[in-house]
């Protein structure tokens, strides 16, 4: 982490978990535990149906609410989709864009990620843009080639003044939900590579202001080691964000 230049952000990705009543209960449990989160921002990205309950439950706390996806059009005949304006009207502050599960199961592409990033920024949302490689790409030695392509396409049309609103999350696809985790040095190497790419695109000053999270099975046990790395500025937390004690421990590690 480098708090001199950028914000540390710990974001929970609840995926398809928790009903509205369960959402209220977990946030009520988290609020007193996270009250001392002084040095990092805390975000909970919940299912669409839980957003209203989450925002009400988190009111008056340090917890911001995010969405797990959004559409790239303002409105229209897109059955089942949700627009950025719909989210901001509810009070949503962040939106995960391009998560590997969206890419794998719902045909998300680098081009649709770019469209969503543009629309999120226009609406006042902070996009959490996910980038990552498969185990085959890592074994073939093309990890950074793939990551750089994802970063560049995601930011097409994004002005330098908007870059600091964008959060990147490096998620090695081979380490999500598998129990495997990249070593701290492997994770930092890629996050550093993302920042190098940003520096080439926007210059050093803009690049150093961007928060880059690690999103590959960060948990209560490995959070401190990962967050001690120079270019890891937080985490996009999956399963551990559904357990109040574990998530609190990760936030506490970010506050050291």
Catalytically active residues are 99, 171
Question: For residue 115, what are the contacts with CB-CB under 8 A and spacing of at least 6?
Answer: 72
**Token output for 98:** 């391009």
If you search the block for the tokens 């950028």, which residue do you land on? 6
The Cα-based distances of 152 to 149, 157, 218, 228 in angstroms read: 5, 10, 25, 27
Q: Which of 3, 7, 60 is nearest to 31 (CA)?
A: 60
Q: How many Cβ atoms from other residues are within 10 Å of residue 140's Cβ?
A: 12
Buried b (16+ CB within 10 A) or exposed e, 106-125: eebebebbbbbbbbbbebeb
238/222 Cα distance (integer angstroms): 14
Q: Which of 197, 204, 194 is nearest to 171 (CA)?
A: 194
């Amino acid at each position: 982490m480098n708090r001199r230049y950028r914000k540390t952000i710990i974001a929970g990705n609840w995926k398809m978990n928790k009903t509205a009543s369960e959402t209220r209960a977990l946030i009520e449990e988290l609020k007193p535990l996270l009250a001392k989160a002084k040095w990092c921002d805390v975000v909970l990205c919940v299912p669409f149906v839980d957003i209203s309950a989450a925002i009400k439950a988190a009111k008056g706390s340090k917890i911001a609410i995010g969405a797990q996806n959004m559409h790239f059009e303002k409105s229209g005949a897109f059955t089942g989709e949700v627009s950025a304006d719909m989210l901001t009207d509810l009070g949503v502050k962040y939106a995960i864009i391009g998560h590997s599960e969206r890419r794998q199961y719902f045909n998300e592409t680098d081009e649709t990620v770019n469209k969503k990033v543009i629309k999120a920024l226009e609406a006042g949302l902070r996009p959490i843009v996910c980038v990552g490689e498969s185990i085959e790409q890592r074994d073939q030695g093309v990890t950074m080639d793939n990551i750089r392509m994802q970063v560049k396409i995601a930011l097409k049309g994004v002005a330098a003044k908007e870059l600091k609103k964008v959060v990147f999350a490096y998620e090695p696809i081979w380490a999500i939900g598998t129990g495997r985790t990249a070593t701290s040095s492997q994770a930092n190497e890629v996050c550093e590579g993302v920042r190098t790419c940003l520096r080439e695109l926007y210059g050093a000053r803009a690049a150093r202001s961007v928060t880059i999270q690690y999103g590959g099975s960060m948990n209560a046990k490995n959070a401190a080691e990962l967050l001690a790395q120079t270019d890891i500025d937080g985490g996009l937390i999956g399963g551990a964000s559904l357990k109040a004690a574990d998530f609190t421990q990760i936030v506490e590690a970010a506050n050291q």
